[in-house]
Structure 1
Amino acid sequence: MALTTSPHTQRLAIVLPCFRPPTEWATNILTSLERFQTLLAGDIIIHLYVVNDGAGADVTEADMDVLRSALPGRFTYLAYTTNQGKGHALRKGMAQVQEPYCLFTDVDFPYQEHSMAAVYNKLVASGADIVVGVRNNAYYAQVPPARRRVSRILRRVTRYVLRLPVEDTQCGLKAFNTAGRALFLRTTTQRYLFDLELLFLASRMRHLRVLAQPVELKPGVIFSRLNPRILLTETGNLVRILSRRHRL
């Protein structure tokens, strides 16, 4: 069935990378989407893109049926067998997006729905190209010590070495217009530092406008442990990004 729209209808894509999703993740997505939609002003059609980043048996056909039934004509599922990393998964999803506005977060919807709405509303109202969620001190009180140390190191690099306009590059909640999405598709980092690469590229393009928006986590969010092998890979990615700062 074709969706009924008016001249004032806005269209928003939400892209979710999916690897090791929590139990009942599909149902949780629908609950969070419903809460999110009630906080948005105006007539907005949301299209959900889920990218299965090698999640294997953690994603079932029953999960897909739940989402397809609840979101007819507004759900796109992409999958591949080998885990490639969050950056890769998001580019795969965003390359399929047809909507003028796009937002990404994690598959467990860890941020408060009012924070998601604030990020999207700022994108539309301000005319910015990218709106970046920025986490407050309460966030760091919830994360394991190893993650806290890595986050602080990256913030120092962002502020003192790269001199980016937004200090918190790694928040998993960002929104884009078509120009911001096009820049995202130019990133190449496969795993976690794709955000840093994105904002580094944005800082070198004076016509692109990037704004920050404070956001809050939901209580009880569980963080995965840092994998030493991936941490080593990301250190190499950080060196690669830093080496580009004098070439752009």
Structure 2
Amino acid sequence: MSFSSPEPSAQLAIVLPCYSPPAGWAANILTSLQRLQTLLPTPVPVHLYLVNDGAEAAVTAADIELLQDALGRWFTYVTYATNHGKGHALRKGMAQVQEPYCLFTDIDFPYQEHSMAAVYQRLVESGADIVVGVRDAAYYAHVPPARRRVSRLLRRVTRHVLRLPVEDTQCGLKGFNATGRQLFLRTTTQRYLFDLELLLLASRTKHMQVLSQPVELKPGIVFSRLNPRILLTETTNLLRILSRRRA
């Protein structure tokens, strides 16, 4: 499999945090990127930034070689030994981005490629700084009960307490222009509630335009159960974020 580079520089970056990737993840990335490029409105080189968040043996030299051979200069690999969490990993990757537009998603590319193309197109056509993927009701049929309850609780907090412009803060597909990316780099949450922190920061930043875009999951996506220890940590992070709202 090979990827052509019709323009002298990439216009779109995709940042993927990697901690516990599924089997065949590297080949799946290449297939998904190939599908995505056929859906973009014009031929757009896509620069992949992969961040190994202390994944140890889950990421092999063969995986990296496969991606490097296929993507060439459109592939950047960031790795470090200790797991810090998704928020930390995304900041590490997004700090490397040079392209004018940037998306992040999960290592298994769980959202339909046409949804990713729609987020990118909305960024370009609207001039928005941040485009937030918003999941429909069908999403909740795919997640374990504990995750479903946490997601719905966060939506209520977003709507009634924080009054943010986008109710679904936790969708794992978001897009940024350079201004939105710089705001993302100001977040500090290490693990899962970095999205909520980001949108709270955006709501307090003058002239920051945030738009939503409906997105769809791929069929057959399986979500992991919430680790009780992580749930406790994220509860602490939620309280910290809420206290920043009153500061």
Query: CA, structure 1 residues 121+212, in 2 after alignment: closer, same or farther (shift >3 Å)?
Result: same
- Checking the alignment, whether the CA contact within 8 Å between 2:39 and 2:114 is kept in structure 1 is yes
Name the residue aligned to 2:203: 203
| Partners of 1:100 and 1:109 in 2: CA distance | 21
Q: Distance in 2 between the 1:5 and 1:154 partners?
A: 41
Q: Percent identity?
A: 75
Question: Which residue of 2 is the match for residue 99 of structure 1?
Answer: 99
Matched, 1:5 2:7: yes
Aligned to 2:41: 41
8 Å CA contact 1:10, 1:43 repeated in 2 = no
- Where 1:71 maps in the other structure, the secondary structure is helix
TM value normalised by structure 1: 0.96
Moved over 4 A (4+): none
Q: CA deviation at 1:41?
A: 1.0
Aligned to 1:69: 69
Query: What secondary structure, in the 3-state scheme, does the structure 1 residue paired with 2:12 have?
Result: strand
Q: Partner of 1:52 in structure 2? A: 52
Distance 2:219 2:204 in 1: 36
Tell me the alpha carbon deviations over residues 195-232 of structure 1, each in whole angstroms, 9 at most, x when there is no partner: 00000000111300000000000011111110100100
Separation in structure 1 between the aligned mates of residue 105 and residue 6 of structure 2, nearest angstrom? 27
Distance in structure 1 (CA, Å) of the matches to 2:127 and 2:57: 41
Letter in 1 for 2:7: T
Secondary structure of 2:73's aligned partner: coil
Matching residue of 1:18: 18
Per-residue CA distance 1:101-152 (angstroms, 9 max, x = gap) = 0000001000000110111100100000000000000001111110000000
Question: 8 Å contact 2:7–2:44 — kept in the other structure?
Answer: no
Compute the TM-score of the two structures, normalised by the length of structure 2: 0.97
Letter in 1 for 2:74: R
Q: Are 2:144 and 1:132 equivalent residues in the alignment?
A: no
- Structure 1 partner of 2:218: 218
Assess, with a 3 A threshold, how the Cα gap between structure 1 residues 38 and 4 changes in structure 2: closer, same or farther. Answer: closer
Task: Give 5+ residue unaligned stretches, structure 1.
Answer: none
Q: Report SS of the residue matched to 1:110.
A: coil
2:53/2:80 contact within 8 Å kept: yes
**TM-fit CA distance, 1:10:** 5.9
